[in-house]
Structure 1
Amino acid sequence: MGQLAISVFINRSQQDVFDFLSDPANLSKWSSAFESAEWTSNDTPGIGSTYRVSANLFGSRKEGLFEIVQWDCPNCYSYKMNARAFPIERMESTITLRPKNDGTQVNFESQFELVSALKFAEGFFAKVGEKQDGKNFNVAKGLLEAG
């Protein structure tokens, strides 16, 4: 199983950061992999809510379905991938937010499993993902801090 972790300080309130990061409609604004995303469940977001994404992964367009598995507004949320998107077999990620110095400390942790033929590359995949997700979270930081 591959793992990656990212931490970034965002100079905005915890609620503002949670609202922005947890809304799938914002994903394409701050994450270079996502072309679009939207809630597929009609209820208020929470455990069991789902959203669909369209992403560009390794040069090819992928569709994905994610489910919220933990929802503690404005402190933490977790989601898992419900539909396999080659080369990822399984993935679950958690975003934790804590107040810090009049802003918010954001910690992102993700665990994933690649398809069996590519398991040997999970370490490399984690390094590449950590680098790219680090850039993405810095884009979110810039957008949120710009107001």
Structure 2
Amino acid sequence: MPEISVDVHIGRSVTEVYDFLSDARNLELWFSGVDTVAESQGPVGPGVAHAYRFPGRHRDHLIQCVAYVPGEHLVFRGDRMWNPLGAQTPVYSFTLSPRRRGTLLRLTVQCRLVGALALLAPVVSMAWRRDLPRDVRRLGERLGAPHCHVIDAPRRIRLPVPPLTAAPPTPKPGPAWPAVPPAPALAPAVPPSPQVRPEPRPAAVPAAQERATRPAA
């Protein structure tokens, strides 16, 4: 849904600006979103519906003030208009606030698009962004304030989003193995003691020989 706003400072009081805007028949005098408004035999003012013709259309539709706060706010809504690509419903909003030397007026246009017309939203926004500054200047001329100052409406600011840093992968828990007890401390190795070999015994001497060798007493 395209939504375009423009602010303008008009050197007239809030009461004068509100009284002029609240009469839907005055829209055709300055607003590019309204081609003609039929004269009404009934009362005029907030809440009254008027037959009007949207630019480029060959049949009449209704436009009505659907919300208003005296001296502060006005909302006009047109009938839903169909075509082979879908439908559109225009909504025009006026917000007024007093200033020391006049009135600050914010004009907001919303166009509700249905069907394939939603694909043309950028084109519709571009057209309104081009036409609204000229419209509010014509409004100032109609109110006798030709030197109105057009102020760019605040735009929606999108803060930059820092890139997401990849978090380190979380290790998956493995199977719970039983705890292994620590190995017992080993005693220090003792070097083996040297083996003492017994001295070899002399060979046995035969008894006869032993007796022969003995000296005689």
CA–CA distance in structure 2, aligned partners of residues 119 and 15 of structure 1: 38
Matches of 2:79 and 2:66 in 1, distance apart? Answer: 11
Matched residues, percent identical?
20
> Aligned pair 1:72/2:95, yes or no?
no
Gaps of 5+ in 1: none
Please give the root-mean-square deviation of Cα atoms over the aligned residues, in Å: 2.4
Q: Specify the alignment match of 1:81 in structure 2.
A: 78
SS of 1:145's equivalent in the other structure is coil
How far the C-alpha of 1:45 sits from its partner, in A, is 2.5
Partner residue, 1:103: 102
Q: How far apart, in 2, do the equivalents of 1:124 and 1:5 lie?
A: 16
Answer with 1 or 2: which has the greater Rg: 2
Give CA deviations for 1:46-95 in whole Å, capped at 9, x if unaligned.
Answer: 34x211212323xx545221122111121111121224265752222210
> 1:22-101 residue pairs with structure 2 within 5 A?
22-38=22-38, 42-43=42-43, 45-47=45-47, 49-57=48-56, 60-84=57-81, 86=83, 88-101=87-100
Do the aligned partners of 2:66 and 2:75 also contact (CA within 8 Å) in 1?
A: yes
- Equivalent-residue separation in structure 2 for 1:134 and 1:22 (angstroms): 20
In the alignment, the residues of structure 2 paired with residue 40 and residue 82 of structure 1 have an alpha-carbon distance, to the nearest angstrom, of 17
User: Counterparts of 2:94 and 2:125 in 1: how far apart (Å)?
Assistant: 17
Task: Tell me: CA distance 1:118–1:44, structure 2 relative to 1, closer, same or farther (3 Å).
Answer: closer
After TM superposition, the runs of 4+ consecutive aligned structure 1 residues lying more than 6 A away are none
Q: Distance in 1 between matches of 2:81 and 2:144?
A: 34
Instruction: Classify 1:123/1:108 alpha carbon distance in 2 versus 1 (closer, same or farther; 3 Å).
Output: same
Shift of 1:42: 2.8
Q: Is the CA contact (8 Å cut-off) linking 2:23 and 2:44 kept in structure 1? A: no
Aligned residue pairs: how many?
A: 144
User: In the alignment, residue 42 of structure 2 is paired with which amino acid?
Assistant: N
Q: Gaps (5+ residues) in structure 2?
A: 147-217
Greater strand fraction, Structure 1 or Structure 2: 1
Q: Supply the distance in 2 between the matched residues of 1:130 and 1:71 (Cα, whole angstroms).
A: 25
The answer to whether the Cα contact below 8 Å between 1:6 and 1:134 also exists between their aligned partners in 2 is yes
Return the structure number with greater relative CO, CA threshold 8 A, min gap 6.
1
1:17 to 1:38, Cα distance in 2 relative to 1, 3 A: farther
CA apart distance, 1:41: 8.0
Please report how far the alpha carbon of residue 44 of structure 1 lies from its aligned counterpart in structure 2 after TM superposition: 5.3
